[in-house]
Amino acid sequence: MVVRDHEKGAQAIMKTVDCIIVFTKVPLADKVKTRLVKEGFLDTPQAKELYEAFLSDVLETAGGYAADNCLDLVISYTPKEGLSKIISITEQLNATLRVASLILQEGTAFDQRIGDAFRKAFDLGYTNAVMIGGDSPTTRKQHLDEAFKILREPDKPKESLVLGPSSDGGVYLIGLRKGSAFDFSGIFTKKAGDDISLIMIENKAREMSLHTFKTSLHYDVDVPEDVVTLREELSKNPDLAPHTRRTLKRLGLMTSS
């Protein structure tokens, strides 16, 4: 079930000063998690199904944390025609979800869309914004808590950037304060097949005189090897990511035990 202040555009009824941004592609055919599509592993419809489960778990975690801590939940989505699908996903969740804003990502490249999502959040009047992706289904409230504590720490420099380092060399979380302008262009990249986005972000932040702080190490799910990590984590934590767990079992990627 979802409770919305509105469904379109970027006009929100402001009740809090901080927000969590769930940054996501809409689970549509041939649009998501294409690197999980591999012969003998997943086909395109299965990759879509699994990503929808990822996103459902992320939304429940983010929405629960937002409700417990008087924050707003913002969903930044693409493409435009996916709005009804996003709404449908939120309405089917187990938990009551209050979505303050549904914001369309604008820009042709990934880095442009991330910058656009932060700009629109700050235009809505938020002071601190923490962004997570829809492909980290085991993101915990602890990770969000670490980020917001850093952003709200009065002794931290105003020009601060919070990064959630991912085990593949990228990032699974980004936190910004309003006024801490950051140029995301060209930083989400790979070198010799390895993700070097974290290093690129830190280097650019240094050039822009922004101070960087990190949360705990975590991961997102991009390739089949990440599913192995995910499966191992779920086997040790029976209450974690229920939507993802059920879908992995249905797809034959996880035992029923």
Q: Which of 251, 175, 246 is nearest to 212 (CA)?
A: 175
Which DSSP string corresponds to 64-87?
A: HHHHHTT-EEEEEEE-GGGHHHHH
Which pLDDT does position 6 carry in this prediction? 40
Strand bridging mode 160-165 / 211-214: parallel
Any domain includes 182: yes
Residues 176-214: tens digit of each pLDDT: 999 888 888 888 877 666 678 899 999 999 999 999 999
The C-alpha atoms of residue 60 and residue 209 are separated, in whole angstroms, by 35
pTM summary value: 0.91
How many structural domains is the chain composed of?
A: 1
Domain residues for 36? Answer: 2-250
Any domain includes 257: no
- Reduced DSSP (H G I as helix, E B as strand, rest coil) percent helix, strand, coil of the chain, to 5: 40, 25, 40
Residue 14, pLDDT above cutoff 70: no
Helix axes of 242-250 and 224-236: crossing angle, nearest 10 degrees: 120
Nearest 5°: the CA angle 183, 165, 75 is: 65
Using only C-alpha atoms, what is the Rg of the chain? 17
Give all strands (DSSP E) within the chain, no chain letters.
Answer: 2-4, 18-25, 72-78, 97-104, 128-133, 160-165, 171-177, 190-191, 194-195, 211-214
Residues 42-93: tens digit of each pLDDT: 999 999 999 999 999 999 999 999 999 999 999 999 999 999 999 999 999 9
Any domain includes 245: yes
Any domain includes 93: yes
Which pLDDT does position 8 carry in this prediction? 40
pLDDT band (50, 70, 90) for residue 11: very low
Any domain includes 6: yes
CB distance 50 to 244 below 8 Å: yes
Any domain includes 121: yes
Residues 229-252: tens digit of each pLDDT: 999 999 999 999 999 999 999 999
CATH number for the domain including 21?
3.90.550.10
Peptide bond just before 79 cis, omega within 30 deg:
yes
Any domain includes 23: yes
What sections of 69-181 are H helices per DSSP? 83-91, 110-123, 141-152
Any domain includes 256: no
